[in-house]
Amino acid sequence: MKKCLAKLISLSAAAAVFAFAAALCSCGDARGIHSSAKDLPQKFTREEDKIIDFAAGKTEGFYASHGYSNRQMFNCEWSRNNAVVQNGVMSMSVTEAEGGTQSGYDYYGAEYRSVEYFSYGFYSVCMKAADCPGVISSMFTYTGRPWDEIDIEILGKDMTEVQFNYYTNGNGGHEYLYKLPFDASEDFHEYAFDWQEDRITWYVDGTAIYRATEDIPSHPQQFMANVWNCIGHDGWSGKFDENALPATAQYKWFAYRAA
């Protein structure tokens, strides 16, 4: 039952992401800290906020997707074998699928998700992005139906940029592309968003970068992350370079602090 539900949610996510793809070109050039976030206090993850901590072997309540694809712009099939925990970190990879996958893809990707749905609060992750054009490294929350979603995505075309975005009842168009002061594939950094009833504020290493205050999502969402190769939207993701595979993003922990 859980697998069937996860498959249904992931397939509906694919349709939703495909609908949003037409607006990707509106992201524009990467910018600095938005005026909406200027002078906001720093906010960091506390040790007690960590609900997943791979170094401590704390993984209860999350699982890796397996055996299906989101289709549309996702050019891979999810495999639990591509989400490997070793030496205190989880490595999620896009790899070639020798002989093809059961869904007919040439690549495997990885996705990790919570069983539980969470509401307003502070969400954060410690991650290092995959350095490969066309491969997306993410942390996000997602409902399924109705479609609410809050995103942090590092796009494979440039390791010095991160995109923030959200959807409310399927309505998007809220992308904000931030120019990072570092290469996201070289080291671990803390990425976060604080979701409240009237606002969402995104953070990088504790510093507030962007705040949204209109049409804020309201439905509880699964806590998720995935690493996947994009097809058909090279201007957004970069042209996929299979010669750079395996492409691996690493995660140390996921954290949540209720509002």
Output the DSSP codes for 119-172: -SEEEEEEEE----TTEEEEEEEE-SSS--EEEEEE-TT-TTEEEEEEEBTTB-
> Which entry of 153, 161, 175, 190 is annotated as an active-site residue?
153
Q: Which helix (H) or strand (E) holds 107?
A: strand 107-118
Q: How many CA atoms lie within 13 A of 98 on its CB side?
A: 1
Cα–Cα distance for residue pair 10/175, rounded to 1 Å: 21
Is 214 assigned a catalytic role?
Answer: no
Three-state DSSP state, 44: coil
> Which entry of 77, 149, 175, 190 is annotated as an active-site residue?
149
Torsion of CA 172, 78, 84, 96, to 10 degrees: -110
Is 153 assigned a catalytic role?
Answer: yes
Phi/psi at 48 (5° precision): -75, -10
Torsion of CA 192, 7, 171, 33, to 10 degrees: 20
Cα–Cα distance for residue pair 208/219, rounded to 1 Å: 24
Active-site residue set: 149, 153
